[in-house]
Structure formats: C-alpha cells, structure tokens
Amino acid sequence: MKKLIKKLMAAAMVTVISTSMLAGCSGKKAEDASTPAKTEEVTKAAENSVDISKEETLKIFIPGDRPAAFDKVIAEAEARMKDTVNVKLDVVFVPWSDLQTKVTQTLNSGEKCDIIFDAPWNGMNTNVSTGYYEPMEDLLAKYGQNILKTTPNEMFEANKFAGKIYGIPLGVLQKPAGAYLVRKDIREALGLPEIKSYQELEKMMYAVKEKYPDMIPFLPQNTAGNDRSAAMMRLYFENPNQIERTEAFGTSHVLYFKNNDGKVYNLFEEMDSDIWSYIENARKLYNDGIIYRDMLAVADIATEAKKGNVAISVKGDIGVDAATQTALKSVNPNYEFETVDFYSTNPGAYTSDFKQWNFVCIPKVSKNKERAMMFLDWVRTDQANYDLLAYGFKGETFNTPDEDSYSFIGTDYTWFPYAWIWNPTQDRVSSDLNEKDKATYQYFSDASNFIPSKLLGFTFNAEKVTNEIAQFNSIEAKYYPLIINGVTDPQQEWDKFKAEASDVVKTIQTEYQAQIDTFLAQ
C-alpha cells in the first residue's frame, strides 16, 4: 500500500504546486533492515567538508517518554556512524506537558542544543521570527542530500517560514487527522454496534457512566492540544464551513479560516454557530459527569488511557498503534482499543495547505550545525538506519510482516519517528491497523483527495506581533482550555476572555490579513 501512496502523493503534489524539484523521491532500499550501510554522500561530506577526526556530542531534545531499549539503540547507531559522522547522541526526552515551556526556555537561555523538535502549534513561528533557528538551505545542499531524496521538494515548499527552510518537515499525511480512542471491549460488553456517528459516541459515554461508575466515560485533550478538546475535536468531522485554525496561536481557533476564502476571521467578532454549539455541548457533558472532572490535572491523556480506566479519549492520528494496544493489554489481555472517526472519504471533501505540523530544527546557538545535519541525513541513507531509530532491532523489538509494514515485539521500544526522523519514503505502516484505518490513512496520504488551499505556500511571519502573541498565550491559558472542555460556564468565561484578549487578537488579525493580502496579490 505504501508504494501506491507515495506514487499518488508525488503525482498529486506536482499538480498543485508549481516548483522545480531539488531532488527526486527515492524508493525503499533493498538492504535488510538489520544491516547498516555507508553511503557515498555521507562519506564524501564528512571527509571533504567536515573534519570528523574529533568525536562530537549532539544534544537533542524531542518529546515523549524514553523507551527501555533506547540506550541500546543509540549505542548501535553511534557505532554505525563512527567512520562517517562520528558523533555521540545525547537525547533528552521532554514530557508533552512541558514541551512548549522547555523549548522556549532552551532557546531563550542559549543552552547547548544541536537538534530540537518544534511545531507551529508549539510556538515555532514565534521562535523563527525571534531568530532562534538556523536557515537550512545551505546545510541541506551540502550535507542533506538524502533528506532531499526522501522528502518531496513540494513538502519543503509548502512548509517554509518567511520564505526559508527553518525545519525539516516530519510527516506523511497531507492534512492533520485525529480520532476518538474507544475501548472496543467495553462497547461490545454494552451491546453497542460499531460507532458511526457522534451521537452514537455520546450514547456510549452515557452508557459507560451508568454501567461502569468507576470508569472515566470521556477524557478529551486538555492544554496540550486544544484542537482535540471536547468541543473542538468535532471540527475534524463536523465542519460544514471548512473552518481551519491559523498559524498564529498553535491549536487555538480564536483566529480561524473558513471556506478557503483567504480571510482571517476572529471568534471574538464572529462566533461560528457550530463552534458555539460544540462548546455548549461540552459544558453539558461536563455537568452530566461524562467528561472527567479533574481532566485539566492530567499530564498525559494517552498515558492515562493506557491504564485501562478510560472508556473514550482522543488522539491526533489515525488508528491504534501497536505500542498503545500492547500497553493496554498488559493491564488486562481482554482490553482492546479501537479508533472511531467520521471522515468523508470522497475526493474534494476537505481543503489542505499541505503543511506539516511537526518539524526538527537546528538552533543558531549550536556549534555542531554541520554534524547535526549530517546525522539527520545519515538516518535516511538507507532503510536500515531509519528502521533502527524508528523501531529498534529487527527480531528483537520489531518485525516486518511485509516490505511496507512493521509490528512491535514487546514494549521496550515505542513509535516516535514523528519527533525527529519521519518521512514519506521510509515510513512503515503499522500492521495492526484494521482495514478501515488503512483506508483512512491512504486517503489522507494522497494529496489528490484534497482541494488546494488558497493560501498554499503562505507562512505567517510573526515578527511584528511577537509581543502580542505572547500576551495572548498568557491570557488564553486562563480561559480557553476550560471553555472548550466544558469545565466552566462558557458565556461568562468567554466574556472575560474577550475583554482581556480582544485588542491583542485584533492587532494580530490585522497583521495576519495584511500579509495574506500581499501574498495573494503576488
């Protein structure tokens, strides 16, 4: 399936973006996934451009939890790189709940850092505007030929910041996707059929409250992902006006796009009726004891769901990965997750600007920029190197049921290539995805299914409104997560939120629209 996805994606992207190709997209290498390889590109770069005689240590910050087998994997990667990149990897895992704070603190302080994960929803636009990241064009040209081969140039063109490449885009899907994570065993025990509508999902929530009083019926995302809150999660599926969040505020919809018209809308000025109805419904769920009362205190909802006491939660991708399923079954082998979504799979049902939402960046303070790029390139020199860091050791932590898929063995290594090495050429699909999820994955991987956004290629430059965005973020944290998860009276809190934030939001909206108008005029 993956080969078909790659071909469809490459063909479709060419039709929607007019740009010259820096490099073609390579196919999967034939080498066995357990066999390391040395490539001419890395060797030549190391020998002719960078003195690799001295071993350097790269400090790397990525989100998530450190797998049990990670140190063993890193030791193997370091051994494979000894004669080419010659680096040690000091990888720091940052909890998701602390990610934005840690990234900001690291960049502000000038702390040693050579590679760091960032994203528009994590404040990346502001970090770029502040000048924290190194432009990558020269580094890619000299030391990133394999990165260029494994990432279609169209993906780079659609994910520039102020016209430059400040991060390597990490992704496969052509539009953000999400799903509800549902306990299949509980649904079946309740005698409920496969869930095919939001109303049926709510029916299960209330049935859980009645029949399983000690279980959390619904745990939406809290402050770590406002687009997957109780209210805003529904925009993934029930969105007749094609509302999309902007780049200004991460996962907030206070400024938003709709109907692909190139205009920036402001919820303080134009409250969308669907969004407000979703907010009011979230309040009802909270008052009815459906949404977990202490949800804002949960550091990581994914970890909480794996404990086995959550009936329905949310996630930011398609399907159930093997590690998540295995973690739940370690609590009780009869427990089982399934994902529920309500996507249309009709071509043209959604627009897309083809932006990715995760990036790996090289800070300006790094004294090892060349080595950092060489390491990121080394990962993509062949499938064996990618598989090592993505899945661990073949036959020990993972298997490959076929050429394009993977399945984990045990729980010593987990899936997190999205944090530093993910790309559409080397990515494998979990063999645990059911047919429905595979079809959804294929739909979202094929760019021809989407209507190109009018703002394709546009990136907001936050430099002129950095202070206003910081002000808004501080105000938003007090109100927005509570409102969109039903924790407080929506109208009362919205009025307070609006009174404090409307002026700075208007300033940002005006600057945003001015940049869009200039872009469209060109």
Distance CA 228, CA 234 (A): 8
Round to whole Å and give the CA distance between 391 and 387. 5
pLDDT at residue number 193: 97
Q: Report pLDDT for 173.
A: 87
Q: Is 316 within 8 Å of 224 (Cβ atoms)?
A: no
- Report pLDDT for 224: 66
Q: How far apart are the first and last CA of the chain?
A: 39
Query: Which residues, 6 or more positions from 75, have their beta carbon under 8 angstroms from its beta carbon?
Result: none
- Give whole-number Cα distances, 178 to 165, 181, 278, 436, 519, in Å: 27, 9, 17, 14, 30
Q: How far apart are CA 506 and CA 123, in angstroms?
A: 19
Cα gap 465→461, rounded to integer Å: 9
Q: Which of 512, 515, 516, 503 is nearest to 472 (CA)?
A: 503
Q: How far apart are CA 362 and CA 117, in angstroms?
A: 9
Distances (CA, A) of 452 to 271, 352, 447: 25, 5, 9
Over the stretch 83-105, which tens digit does the pLDDT of each residue have? Answer: 999 999 999 999 998 999 999 99
Give the CA count within 13 Å in the CB-facing half-sphere of 305.
Answer: 27
Task: Report DSSP state, residue 39.
Answer: -
Given this model, what pLDDT does residue 267 score? 98
Helix/strand/coil (H/E/C) assignment for every residue in 220-270: CCCCCCHHHCCCHHHHHCCCCCCCEECCCCCCCCCEEECCCCCCCEECCCC
Contacts of residue 392, Cβ cutoff 8 Å, sequence gap at least 6: 67, 69, 73, 398, 412, 413
Class of domain 2-173+356-433: alpha beta
Residue 286: what pLDDT? 98
The pLDDT value given to residue 120: 87
- 9, two tokens: 């994606």
Ramachandran sector of residue 163 (left: φ over 0; alpha: ψ -120 to 50; beta: rest): left
Amino acid letter, residue 17: I
Please give the model's pTM, rounded to 2 decimal places: 0.74
Burial call 139-171: b when 16+ CB within 10 Å, e when fewer = bbebbbbbbbbbbbbbbbbbbbbeeebbbbbbb
Residue 288: both structure tokens together: 């009815």
Q: Which residues contact 470 (CB under 8 A, 6 or more apart)?
A: 126
Helix (H) or strand (E) holding 464: none
Structure confidence at residue 23 (pLDDT):
31
Write out the DSSP string of 357-415.
S-EEE-BTT-S-HHHHHHHHHHHTSSHHHHHHHHH-SBTTTEE-SSTTEEEE-SSSS--
Task: Report residues of the chain scoring pLDDT below 50.
Answer: 1-43, 45-47
